[in-house]
């Protein structure tokens, strides 16, 4: 996957979500078609941690079922790094279980920003986030 396409409103709603949960990490799932995100699932971080996230398995399962029954694909997983870094952490690499774009939110001063990554074989490459 070369890029992930997000609407400005979708990006804004994710920023509001991660900001509301800071200093804890927040997370969610991105579904859609052909690299274009059409649906965002905000999932509870049951780890309730500032340095890691564990998606609530019931919410995750419900999201996967919705994605299947709406003929969409899981395109991405997003989470926040309220205390940084603005890139993937060793934990993210160790726990990457899906071949999807990992979107990470971090902030400098007051502004949150997002970066996308493809994690594979204990390594990662940056994926362009196209905001429309």
Q: Does 4 bind Zn ion (CB under 5 A)?
A: no
The span from the CA of 15 to the CA of 66, in Å, is 23
Q: How far is the CB of 14 from Zn ion (least distance, A)?
A: 14
Can residue 18 be called a binding residue for Zn ion (CB under 5 A)? no
Q: How far is the CB of 71 from Zn ion (least distance, A)?
A: 30
What three-state secondary structure class fits 91? helix
For residue 122, give every residue at least 6 positions away whose Cβ sits within 8 Å of its Cβ, in sequence order, or none.
93
16 part of the active site? no
Site string for Zn ion, 82-101 (x = CB under 5 A): -------x--x---------
Q: Which residues contact 13 (CB under 8 A, 6 or more apart)?
A: 40
Residue nearest to Zn ion (CB): 92
């Amino acid at each position: 996957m070369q890029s992930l396409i997000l609407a400005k409103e979708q990006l804004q709603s994710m920023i509001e979500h991660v900001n509301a949960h800071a200093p804890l990490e927040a997370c969610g799932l991105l579904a859609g078609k052909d690299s274009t995100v059409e649906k965002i699932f905000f999932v509870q971080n049951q780890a309730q941690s500032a340095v890691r996230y564990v998606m609530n398995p019931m919410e995750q399962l419900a999201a996967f079922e919705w994605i299947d029954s709406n003929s969409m694909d899981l395109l991405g997983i997003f989470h926040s790094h309220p205390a940084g870094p603005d890139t993937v952490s060793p934990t993210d690499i160790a726990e990457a279980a899906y071949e999807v774009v990992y979107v990470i939110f971090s902030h400098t001063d007051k502004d949150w920003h997002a970066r996308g990554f493809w994690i594979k074989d204990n390594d990662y490459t940056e994926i362009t986030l196209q905001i429309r």
